[in-house]
Amino acid sequence: MAARSTRVLMSCSRKDANAALLSNFEVFQLLTDLKQQRKESGKSKQSSGQQNLNTIMYETMKYISKTPCRYQSPETVREFLIAMKGHKLTKAEKLQLLNHRPVTAVEIQLMVEESEERLTEEQIESLLQTVASILPGDPEEQQRDSAMETEGRSSQ
């Protein structure tokens, strides 16, 4: 990839450093809509000015599509944030849980600062349960897991 220049910034002035946090899912939606818009408008995407936008949109979509957010919807995100209200986590921590969909206690400990002091083992378990039940995971994996469970039960 060509070296990125920072010469653009001289005329731009920044008002608010971080006006809002965006979850991976929101960026995914935004890029999907933008891609649709550009396709519909039919304008030539090959004009030299648009190449950078094309590149960054393509690469970012490629990355985000590999994360759990590709199975999410606005409803699941809303449900998740409501369920998280009782757990006393910071905005950044909730966002990490949303973006990564952790399945082990070790991952929760990485994302929640000072988790040994703030969360008991039961609370970590309950967090994992909430994450697993509300945020959809890979449908193939979930089918495999439930198939293995029924196998286990029937073999008993």
Chain positions contacting other proteins, by CB under 8 A: 1, 3-24, 26-27, 30-31, 34, 49-50, 52-53, 55-57, 59-60, 62-63, 67, 90-93, 95-96, 99-100, 104, 106-107, 109-111, 113-114, 117-118
Q: Which is nearer to other proteins, 101 or 134 (CB)?
A: 101
Rounded Cα distance between 135 and 91, Å, is 17
Q: Which is nearer to other proteins, 31 or 132 (CB)?
A: 31
Q: Cβ of 94: how many Cβ atoms within 10 Å?
A: 19
For residue 67, count CB atoms less than 10 angstroms from its CB and return exposed for 0-12, middle for 13-18, buried for 19 or more. middle
**Least separation in angstroms between CB 142 and other proteins:** 15
**Least separation in angstroms between CB 58 and other proteins:** 8
Task: Output phi, psi for 73, to 5 deg.
Answer: -140, 165
